Amino acid sequence: MAVDVPDATPVPSAPPGSGHLPEPAVDVRGLVVVVGGTRALDGVDLRVPAGCVHGVVGAAGSGKTTLIRVLATLLHPDGGSARVLGCDVVAEADAVRDRVGRTGRSAGFAEQLSGGGNLVQLARLLGYSRAAALQRTDQLLAGFGLTAAAGRPLGTYSPAMRRRLDLAASIVVRPELVLLDEPTTDLDPHCRAEVAAVLRALVRAGTTVLLTTRDLDEAGRLADRLSVLAAGRIVAEGTASEIGARAALPQ
C-alpha cells in the first residue's frame, strides 16, 4: 500500500531557543512509577530526538504501557521528570495533550458508527466545523486506504484496517508526537508492512513517533533506534543490530 498521509495544520511549536540544540521530542530522567508497591518504572532515562521513529522494546510487564501513560499525561510519576516537546507532563499537562496524539491496541471508537462516521465525530469534538470535519475525514480515509470502507460498520473492519483507522484518528489535528502502544500486535506480516509504511509517512509529514513492542525484530523494522525496557529499567539502547549483537531481549 502506497501511503500518503494527508497534512493538517500542526499545533504550533514553541520557537527554538537561540544557540541551543533542538528540543528533544521526549526527555525522561530518573522516572519512577510505583504501582501496588512495585516499581513499574525504576529510574528510566530516555531521550527521543524529534523527527524519528523510536521503539521501546520489552516483554509483558516490563513497564512499556506505564511509560506511554506517563508521557500521555494519564499517569503521574512518583519520581524523576518527563518532558514532552519541552513541556512537563505534570505541570504542563494541558499543553502536552494539545500537541500529542495517542492510540493503543483498541481505540475508543463507537462501534455503532462507520469508520468515516467515527472520524467525523472525532473531528467535530476537536473543533472542526461540519464541512471541515467531512473534508478532513475524506483526506484521512484516502491517505490510509480506507475510502472504499468509509461507510461500512466498524465490526466489518479487519485488524489492519482498524489499526489504520487508529492512526488516522491520532492525526485528525496533526500532532508533533504520536504515542503508539504495541501497534502491530496480532497483525500478519502484510498488515505489519502497511503499518510500517504509515509510520514512515507520519515522520515525513513532520511527526515524531514513539512506539512500544515485544518483538525486537519487529522493532528493528519499524524504528530508527530502540530502547530495551526490562523490569522497569532501560537495559540497552541502539539500533536493532547493535542490541542483537550484545544480548538477547530479556524475557
Q: What is the dihedral of CA 224, 228, 233, 236, to 10 degrees?
A: -90
d(C-alpha 236, C-alpha 227), whole Å: 6
Position 35 scores a pLDDT of 92
Position 5 scores a pLDDT of 54
Position 111 scores a pLDDT of 85
Position 249 scores a pLDDT of 46
End-to-end CA distance of the chain: 34
Three-class secondary structure assignment of 188-234: CHHHHHHHHHHHHHHHHCCCEEEEEECCHHHHHHHCCEEEEEECCEE
d(C-alpha 167, C-alpha 102), whole Å: 9
Position 241 scores a pLDDT of 85
Is residue 164 a contact partner of residue 170, using CB atoms and an 8 Å limit? no
Position 13 scores a pLDDT of 43
Is residue 229 a contact partner of residue 67, using CB atoms and an 8 Å limit? yes
d(C-alpha 112, C-alpha 117), whole Å: 9
Domains parsed from the chain with CATH numbers: 26-246 (3.40.50.300)
Classify residue 152 by its DSSP letter. Answer: S
Residue ranges in the chain modelled with pLDDT below 70: 1-21, 104-108, 245-251
Position 101 scores a pLDDT of 86
User: Which distant-in-sequence residues (6+ apart) come within 8 Å of 75 by Cβ?
Assistant: 33, 66, 69
One-character DSSP codes across 154-194: GGG--HHHHHHHHHHHHTSS--SEEEEESTTTT--HHHHHH
